[in-house]
Copies of this chain bind each other. A is one copy, B any other.
Amino acid sequence: MVEILSVATGRQGLFEFTAQLAELVTRSGVEEGLCSLLVQHTSASLTIQENADPSAKDDLENWMNRLVPEGDALYTHVYEGADDMPAHIKSALTSSSLSIPVLNGKLCLGVWQGVYCWEHRHEGRRRNIAVHINQ
């Protein structure tokens, strides 16, 4: 089955949607299979990160903003805003798609893993994530 999940991102940063995804897996009825995701945007990413301590997410976001700052003189693609080209670069450095095995009807994640949509633009919007689940 293929469904489009919609994840609200209010600002730059990591937004967890593990629960939304887990609900979809349950609804699919798949006991043993694969759950594959694609974010349908080039200025946001998918990442699996620690779901325990928010400071890890904050450090990750700050580190990435330092590596890929706005206003770099190298950029020529600037008409969509100062955060646009950094967003494309961050998207290339992280992941657009993920594949997560399903076992016993559940996402086969590690104990501390959460699934996140990483918003790279400042403005809030909804991000569409195409999800395929099969056996």
Residue of B nearest to A49 (CB): B42
Summarize A's interface: helix, strand, loop or mixed: mixed
Q: Would A59 and B77 be within 8 Å (CB), given that A40-B109, A92-B49, A102-B2 are in contact?
A: yes
A72–chain B nearest beta-carbon distance, Å: 7
| Interface residue count on the A side (C-beta < 8 Å) | 60
Q: Would A74 and B63 be within 8 Å (CB), given that A47-B92, A93-B93, A95-B95 are in contact?
A: yes
What are the residues of chain B within 8 A of A131 when measuring CB–CB?
101
Residue in B50, B94, B98 whose CB lies within 8 Å of A88: B50
A122–chain B nearest beta-carbon distance, Å: 18
Q: CA A65 – CA B85 in complex, angstroms?
A: 15
A91–B49 touching, CB < 8 Å:
yes
